[in-house]
Structure 1
């Protein structure tokens, strides 16, 4: 049973519903502010990188699932690219460097030394229902395809209330295991696939104790 399905059975607690957005990466550290359910770094996607990642055949998109000390996240991404035979280029270095940098930001914001890192490749909807992840927090960044959708709890059936993280932006969502009494009041889900855009490439980073 998902957290979304069991929400009605939980004790009544304060809900965090606010989404903070900013053009600087420091916005991610505001995730522990009262009332904040998510923070989004609204950075622009580099055009050369975007063209490069869109042109990669789907079999060369790197996939990764690992738990590593935060300083090894970039090395893990490099290994995943090598395994997928991603051609060496400045854009590949941008991708692996970004994975390492975002892992460091998450670790600094949440004061952890280890992270779970995933690079998910899919042409289907991985999480079609609005939900809350059973983790303290989760960082999401879409490198290829459409970004993650989110909505306040209780408005899942109101399409006007649904918002979407832009491609290349970095979103940090509180999860169901967020410490303290204040629970998140925000759901998120994977977007519907775009038939013409091919496979989606999503970075997922979770904090580990």
Structure 2
């Protein structure tokens, strides 16, 4: 299946931005298109990965690990980082594949790896990331949300909201502007440190908290 590129965002400077989505992992290469600020691989997790995650979440109370993962020692480094958890071979193998894809796509020798078990919103306000590009995927629970930017007022981000909730500040015109990832989806989010994307970084947030829900979230970052 060819990646489906969807027109989704227009800035105040009349620069048209898009997000690309597909069920094929090759869609992630679309992040190099200057007009794309989010590339979304819509994938289904295998039953083995779901079982690994369910077993871990059922027993774990907390997880927040950060590490540098070397491109030449990906699985070794991830196994070392997760050795004190009950996350099994299926999860580690899949996570290793994602890190390898990220390193290959951006020609990186190492990446910043962070995995968290969350029972509260991590970034409940809409915001942009001041990084070149970040990989985000949720293995369980709600996925990251982002804004259909046709009606975004970026001046309402951060202090521009004047303390008002995002739904009241005028940042977006309607709840229908909010797009959602689902568990398993893999997204590349282009930040403001990507050259040429300083004014068009994707606007996103953690999803609103649902009672008793636990989210298992993985993020990958460039290292400076």
Q: TM-score range by the shorter chain?
A: 0.7 to 0.9
Question: CA-atom RMSD, angstroms?
Answer: 2.3
Q: Distance between the aligned counterparts of 1:140 and 1:48, measured in 2?
A: 21
User: Does the 8 Å CA contact 2:121/2:207 hold for their aligned counterparts?
Assistant: yes
Aligned length: 192
For residue 136 of structure 2, what is the aligned residue in structure 1?
140
For residue 121 of structure 1, what is the aligned residue in structure 2?
117
Runs of at least 5 residues in structure 2 that lack an aligned partner in the other structure:
1-11, 154-170
State the TM-score, normalizing by the size of structure 2: 0.76
Moved more, 187-196 or 168-177: 187-196
Where 2:222 maps in the other structure, the secondary structure is: strand
State how 1:78-89 maps to structure 2 within 5 Å. Answer: 78-84=79-85, 86=86
For residue 33 of structure 1, what is the aligned residue in structure 2?
33
Q: Distance between the aligned counterparts of 1:102 and 1:32, measured in 2?
A: 18
Q: Cα distance 1:185–1:17, how it changes in 2: closer, same or farther (>3 A)?
A: farther
Q: Distance between the aligned counterparts of 2:76 and 2:122, measured in 1?
A: 26
Runs of at least 5 residues in structure 1 that lack an aligned partner in the other structure:
1-11
Q: Cα distance 1:16–1:69, how it changes in 2: closer, same or farther (>3 A)?
A: farther
State how 1:130-209 maps to structure 2 within 5 Å. Answer: 130-151=126-147, 152=149, 153-154=152-153, 156=172, 158-180=174-196, 183-197=199-213, 199-209=214-224
Where 2:122 maps in the other structure, the secondary structure is: coil
User: Does the 8 Å CA contact 1:142/1:202 hold for their aligned counterparts?
Assistant: yes
